[in-house]
C-alpha cells in the first residue's frame, strides 16, 4: 500500500514567509521556498540555525507563528492535529537521534506507522510483517527484529529510524542530521542508504545537515541497482549535470542561500564559504 | 506591569488545555485499553506495598498518640472512632495521594519527559498517533480507577494498625471495631472517595503536563519530575481543604 512518488511538477512542500518563535527568540525568520516531487534538497546550517525547526514545521509538528506552510498542496498552517495525520502519513521523517520508541522492539518500531496510521489500517498483519522485514532488509538489519533500541549501536538505531521512515513508502522523506555524532565509516553507510532509498523510489528528500560532504554525496552520487553500489553521476562528464539536488543554507533562522551546488561553491559569502569544501 | 504573571498564567492555560483535550479524548477513539491496563498495573499493583505500609503505620501511630490524650478524659475506648474517622475522611486519601504523587506522578513526568527530549513524542505525532490519546488518557483513567481503590486499602490497613495498638491498651476487638464502624457516616465515606478521585486527576494530569512540556535535555527531565511532585502535592493539600469545607457544610 504505497503512497507512491508524486507527479514531478507537484509542489510537495511550500513555505511562504514562515516565521516561528520560541519565547521571543526567532527560530525561523520569514522563510520561503518550494520543493517539487522527486527533488532532493540539502539544508545546511550551523547548530541552532533553525534546520530542525524547519523540518518539523514542514510536517506540522511545529506551528508557524506567521506565514503559510503547504504540504502536498494543502495549507497546514492552522490545521488541527487530527486532520494532519492523513497528510503526515505521506511523509517519512528520520529524527536526529532516531526517535525510536525505547519500550518497543525494532519490529514494533518499524511496524508502528503501518499499525497506527488510519490510511493503512486495512493492511493485514502478514502484509505488515512482510513490509517490516523488507524495510529492515533494506537497511541490512533484518536480524535485529526482536531487539530493543537500547541494545543497538548509534548507527544501527539511525538505520532502524530510516527503515521506519520509509516503510510506508512516503512521497517525501525528511532527514534531520542523519550523520550527526557518527564516525565517518558509519556516516557513509547511513548516507549510502539515504541515496539508495532516494534513487530506488524517486521520492523527494529534504536533508538537514551541517556536513557539506553529506550534501556532496547526495548531489553527485546515484545508487546503481545493478552493482548495488553508489556511483558518481557522470552525465556530460563533469559529474554535476542532471543533478536535481538543490542546496539551502540557514543562518540564525533566515534562509540565506538557495541554489545549486555550483552556485553555492561560487558564492563569495564568508558564511557560505565555511560550509563549502572546494573540490 | 503584570509581565511577571505572563509565564504562570500561560502555564495554567496550557494545563487547562491539556486537561480539556484529555477529557474529550476519554470519550472518543481510538482507545488504548492495553496501555490503560498496563498503567493500572504499574500504578495500582506496583504501589500496593507502599500504601499498605503507609496506611498501617499511620493508623498505628495515630492510635498510639491519641491514646494518651483520650486517657486524660477516660475515653480510651473511643480510639476506634478517632482512627477510622480521621483516616477515612482525611489522612487515608491525602497520604495515599502523596505517596502516589511521589511514586507515580514523578514516574509519569520522567517517562514522558524522557520521551519528549528524545523526540519520541514528536515521532508519535509524525507516525499517526495523538500523544494525548496514547499517553495521557491511559494514565488519567488508570490513576482515576486505582487511587480510590488504593485509598480504601490504606484506610482499612490504617484501622487495622490502630486495632493492633488498641489491643495493647486493653480495648476488646468488639469495642474497637464497633466504634470504628458505627462512627462512619455517608458524608465521611463520600468525601473519602471523592478526594482520591480528584487527587488522581491532579496527579496524572500534572505529571503528564510537566513531562510533555519538558525542555533542556536530561537536566530538564529532572526539573520536570521535581516540579510534578511539588505541584501535585501542593494541590492535594489545597483540594482536600476545599472538599472538606464543602462536606462540612453539607
pLDDT tens digits for range B90-143: 999 999 999 999 999 999 999 999 999 999 999 999 998 899 999 999 999 999
- Enter the C-alpha cell of residue B227: 516540579
| Residue-level pLDDT at A241 | 47
Identify the pLDDT of residue A231.
Answer: 84
Q: Please judge whether A61 and B129 are an interchain contact, meaning their C-beta atoms are less than 8 angstroms apart.
A: no
Question: Would you say A210 and A47 are in contact if contact means Cβ atoms under 8 Å apart?
Answer: yes
Q: Does A101 contact chain B (CB < 8 Å)?
A: yes
Cell of B76: 480510651
Q: What is the pLDDT of residue A161?
A: 93
Condensed to tens digits (0 to 9), the pLDDT of residues A264-278 reads 888 888 888 877 865
Quick one: CA dihedral A3, A110, A210, A66, positive or negative? positive
Least confident of A50-54, A188-192, A225-229, B17-21: A225-229
* Cβ-Cβ contacts under 8 Å, B125 against chain A: 61, 81, 88
Q: Which residues from chain B sit within 8 angstroms of residue A81, using beta carbons? A: 125, 130
Average pLDDT, chain B: 92
* Residue A36 DSSP SS3: strand
Q: Give the three-class secondary structure for A29.
A: strand
Q: pLDDT of A55-70, one tens digit each?
A: 999 999 999 999 999 9
Put simply, the answer to whether A113 touches B128 (Cβ < 8 Å) is yes
Chain B residues at the A interface, defined by Cβ less than 8 Å, are 118-120, 122-130
Contact of A131 with A70, CB cutoff 8 Å? no
Residue-wise pLDDT for A142-161, tens only, equals 888 899 999 998 889 999 99
Check A100 against B128: CB less than 8 A apart: no
- pLDDT at position A238: 46
A2: pLDDT confidence band, cut at 50, 70 and 90?
Answer: very low
**pLDDT of res. A237:** 44
Which cell numbers in the block locate residue B210? 510537566
pLDDT of residue B121: 94
Amino acid at each position: 500500500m504505497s503512497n507512491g512518488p508524486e507527479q514531478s511538477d507537484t509542489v510537495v512542500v511550500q513555505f511562504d514567509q514562515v516565521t516561528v518563535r520560541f519565547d521571543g527568540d526567532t527560530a525561523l525568520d520569514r522563510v520561503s521556498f518550494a520543493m517539487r516531487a522527486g527533488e532532493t534538497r540539502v539544508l545546511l546550517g550551523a547548530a541552532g540555525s533553525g534546520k530542525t525547526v524547519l523540518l518539523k514545521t514542514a510536517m506540522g509538528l511545529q506551528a508557524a507563528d506567521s506565514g503559510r506552510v503547504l504540504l502536498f498542496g494543502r495549507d497546514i498552517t492552522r490545521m488541527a492535529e487530527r486532520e494532519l495525520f492523513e497528510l503526515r502519513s505521506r511523509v517519512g521523517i528520520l529524527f536526529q537521534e532516531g526517535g525510536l520508541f525505547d519500550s518497543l522492539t525494532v519490529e514494533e518500531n518499524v511496524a508502528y506507522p503501518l499499525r497506527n496510521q488510519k490510511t493503512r489500517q486495512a493492511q493485514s498483519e502478514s502484509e505488515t510483517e512482510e513490509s517490516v522485514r523488507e524495510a529492515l532488509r533494506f537497511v541490512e538489519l533484518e536480524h535485529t527484529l526482536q531487539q530493543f533500541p537500547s541494545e543497538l549501536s548509534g548507527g544501527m538505531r539511525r538505520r532502524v529510524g530510516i527503515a521506519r521512515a520509509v516503510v510506508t513508502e512516503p512521497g517525501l522523506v525528511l532527514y534531520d542530521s542523519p550523520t550527526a555524532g557518527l564516525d565517518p565509516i558509519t556516516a557513509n553507510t547511513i548516507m549510502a542508504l539515504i541515496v539508495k532509498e532516494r534513487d530506488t523510489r524517486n521520492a523527494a528528500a529534504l536533508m538537514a545537515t551541517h556536513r557539506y560532504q553529506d550534501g556532496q554525496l547526495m548531489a553527485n552520487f546515484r545508487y546503481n541497482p545493478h552493482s548495488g553500489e553508489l556511483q558518481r553521476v557522470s552525465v556530460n562528464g563533469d559529474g554535476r549535470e542532471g543533478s536535481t539536488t538543490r542546496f539551502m543554507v540557514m543562518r540564525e533562522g533566515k534562509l540565506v542561500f538557495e541554489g545549486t551546488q555550483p552556485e553555492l561553491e561560487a558564492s563569495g559569502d564568508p558564511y557560505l564559504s565555511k560550509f563549502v569544501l572546494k573540490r | 506591569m503584570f509581565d511577571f504573571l505572563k509565564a504562570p498564567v500561560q502555564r495554567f492555560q496550557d494545563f487547562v488545555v491539556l486537561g480539556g483535550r484529555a477529557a474529550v479524548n476519554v470519550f472518543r477513539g481510538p482507545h488504548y485499553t492495553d496501555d490503560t491496563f498496563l498503567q493500572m498495573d504499574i500504578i495500582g499493583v506496583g504501589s500496593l506495598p507502599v500504601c499498605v505500609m503507609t496506611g498501617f503505620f499511620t493508623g498505628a501511630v495515630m492510635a498510639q498518640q491519641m491514646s494518651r490524650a483520650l486517657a486524660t478524659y477516660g475515653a480510651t475506648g473511643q480510639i476506634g472512632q478517632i482512627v477510622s474517622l480521621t483516616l477515612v475522611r482525611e489522612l487515608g486519601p491525602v497520604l495515599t495521594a502523596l505517596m502516589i504523587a511521589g511514586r507515580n506522578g514523578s514516574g509519569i513526568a520522567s517517562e514522558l519527559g524522557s520521551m519528549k527530549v528524545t523526540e519520541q513524542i514528536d515521532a508519535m505525532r509524525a507516525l499517526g498517533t495523538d500523544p494525548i490519546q496514547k499517553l495521557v488518557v491511559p494514565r488519567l483513567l488508570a490513576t482515576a480507577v486505582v487511587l480510590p481503590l488504593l485509598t480504601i486499602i490504606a484506610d482499612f490497613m490504617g484501622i487495622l494498625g490502630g486495632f493492633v495498638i488498641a489491643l495493647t491498651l486493653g480495648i476488646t476487638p468488639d469495642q474497637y471495631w464497633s466504634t470504628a464502624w458505627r462512627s462512619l457516616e455517608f458524608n465521611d465515606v463520600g468525601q473519602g472517595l471523592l478526594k482520591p478521585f480528584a487527587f488522581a486527576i491532579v496527579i496524572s494530569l500534572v505529571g503528564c503536563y510537566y513531562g510533555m512540556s519538558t525542555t533542556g535535555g536530561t537536566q530538564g527531565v529532572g526539573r520536570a519530575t521535581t516540579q510534578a511532585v511539588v505541584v501535585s502535592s501542593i494541590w492535594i493539600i489545597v483540594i482536600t481543604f476545599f472538599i472538606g469545607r464543602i462536606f462540612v457544610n453539607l
